[in-house]
Structure 1
Amino acid sequence: MLVYVDDILVTGNSVRAVDDFIRALSARFVTRDLGDLSFFLGIEAISQANGGLLLSQRQYMLDLLVKANMEHCKPASTPMSTSSTEGDSAAAPPDPTVYRQLVGSLQYLTLSRPDISYAVNRVCQHMHAPDASHFLLVKRILRYVKATLHLGLLLLPSPNMSIQAFSDADWAGSSSDRRSTGGYAVYLSPNLISWQSKKQRTVARSSTGSEYKALANCSAEISWLTSLFTNPVFHAQTKHIEIDFHFFISTKDQITDLTKPLSSSLFAFFGDKLRLCSRPPSTCEGSIR
């Protein structure tokens, strides 16, 4: 059961149990059953013929573009340019309130759009004192949103509960404080269920150091998800993660490249691996290639 103020979403593997729960809830409170899931907190759930769901925020994106007066903007193929720089603009600084509102809205959009995680993380780092160059970065993200209104996050049914994770990091990528950015993506079978792109708290002295910090964050997320799936009861004792092997994969196969701007060809390639699917979703495939 997912509850947000007075909106409730109920699901389960027994239709009878779900119906019994809804009836019991209705006996205690004034409720309205809206039927099968279709729209929840700005996220549209589009049922698939194979039993899957496409989570889309298309209407939310359209409203955001209108809010930013960019509904007629020129689309962009990526959310960031590979040559983007910060702090080098002679134009007047933006209204900080408007900047924070737009960036906050983009943060909510990352619920179904992992492909903009890195770009949104970058603009979030300047909420306190944005300048004109930072506002240009926000506009670039919105131009990419305009070009990809059809994309959403695809979730597919699966008989197994295997967890697969990818982790990556740049090294000293921030020109202002030389801190690195780490990212990870965690899949439950074919479904992307958790992702992050975030600047690391401390400065890494080597690329290996930044990679290990990213791995530590990824391992903590996997540990938490595993405990959530196996036993929802909190235990004071925690289990240590044994690392049997260390290995790295080629950059061209690194799905979690949420640490830097990418070319349009690489961005499109990795976007497919992040389970982003177009409306209508008839061409979506059910596995990570």
Structure 2
Amino acid sequence: MYDWLLQQLDVRNAFLNGNLTEIVFMEQSPGFIDDRFPTLVCCLKKALYGLKQGHVLVYLLVYVDDIILMGNDTTFFNTFVAKLHQEFSIKDLGALGYFLGLEVTHKNHSIFLTQTKYAYDILARAGLVDAKPVTTPLSSTEVFLSKGELFHDPILYKSLVGALQYLTITRPDLSCAVNQASQHLQSPTVSHFQSVKRILRYVKGTFAFGLHFSKESTPTLLGYSDVDWARCIETRRCSYGYSIYLGGNLVSWSAKKQPTVARSSCESEYRAMANTATKIIWLTHLLRELHALPMDVQPFYVIRKELFFSVRIRCLIKEPST
């Protein structure tokens, strides 16, 4: 959204936080304040990364020895990378292209995330590389029941479902189907495995699917939620889902079964709506911590019911005076 630099690094040897050479104090972290001594401060024993640098913003994502670096100031960005080279043995991989199975394509001020190679590896593990593709992950009438003939290789079932769960990082269209398959990991049946094969056949025909992030002028949060009515025949619980967009880009989604039985479709809808509103509020706080939203801007929510109990939750950023 802001045309920031996006670069990938690799540390040749993993490292930990360094020792401090001077005395540094910090306030107690929000949410972890000692009720007995709320006014006391902490004396740091190890160096912390991510300290504020005024109007210069640099985000560092570290997974063991793989690093993604992003910032809004070219000069400071290059200086920071040079400092990392001085302190650690680091390999500069250039613009972000491949990270933990995620493939990144840059084009016209936008990026496209996909997991084509990872999806192919899943199909190869299941022996379905040459399978015939289907147009949907599951049939609309598909029902997962706990009873039935047990599948002879539950480890394979768990492995495939776990791999599909990681694939949903860039494939929200798989979330609902994979969630249903995940509810029977403890004792999968032959019918469950057939459903997983159906999901994999859908993946076979949608290798190129992924997430597209484009530059938008305003950071508007827009959320949608929906829920079925007692879809699970055995527990009579509802399954709900939500999707949240930031400036038109999908940034958060989920599909799962509600923890309790709703006594009416209206009750299940409001539970789904409340959960989505909670996620929007959490994202609002996160974006403020990342300085993507001004701290003095308050979110304004508009909740509107639509046909068939499809709920739209819209979050518009407005000034406190309005």
TM-score normalised to structure 2 length: 0.72
What is the identity percentage for the equivalent residue pairs of Structure 1 and Structure 2?
42
Cα 1:108–1:15 change in 2 (3 A) is same
Say which one has the larger Rg: 2
1:59-138 → structure 2 map (5 Å cutoff): 59-87=117-145, 93-138=151-196
Query: Which of the pair has the greater relative contact order for Cα pairs under 8 Å at 6+ separation?
Result: 1
TM-score normalised to structure 1 length: 0.80
Calculate the aligned-residue CA RMSD, in Å.
2.3
Q: Check the 8 A contact 1:54/1:152 in 2, yes or no.
A: yes
1:129-155 CA distance string (max 9 Å, x none):
111111111101000000101111101
Counterpart in the other structure of 1:3: 62
The whole-number CA distance in structure 2 between the counterparts of 1:255 and 1:147 is 31
Q: CA deviation at 1:23?
A: 1.4
Runs of 4+ in structure 1 displaced over 4 angstroms? 88-92, 240-243, 251-256
Counterpart in the other structure of 2:272: 214
1:177-207 CA distance string (max 9 Å, x none):
0111111000001100000001011111111
Counterpart in the other structure of 1:46: 105
The structure that is strand-richer by fraction is 2
1:222-257 CA distance string (max 9 Å, x none):
111101111359xxxxxx9986x642123598799x
Aligned to 2:282, which of 211, 221, 224? 224
Residue identity opposite 1:136 in structure 2: Q
The structure that is helix-richer by fraction is 1
Counterpart in the other structure of 2:307: 250
SS at match of 1:151: coil
Aligned to 2:75, which of 16, 24, 29? 16
The whole-number CA distance in structure 1 between the counterparts of 2:62 and 2:152 is 36
| Count of aligned pairs | 248
Q: Check the 8 A contact 1:56/1:153 in 2, yes or no.
A: yes
Q: CA deviation at 1:56?
A: 1.0
Cα 1:242–1:94 change in 2 (3 A) is farther
The whole-number CA distance in structure 2 between the counterparts of 1:12 and 1:60 is 28
Cα 1:170–1:31 change in 2 (3 A) is same
Q: Check the 8 A contact 2:181/2:196 in 1, yes or no.
A: yes
Segments of structure 2 that go 5 or more residues without pairing to the other structure are 1-59, 292-297, 314-322
The whole-number CA distance in structure 1 between the counterparts of 2:116 and 2:208 is 7
Q: Check the 8 A contact 1:88/1:133 in 2, yes or no.
A: no
Q: Check the 8 A contact 1:89/1:133 in 2, yes or no.
A: no
1:144-163 → structure 2 map (5 Å cutoff): 144-163=202-221
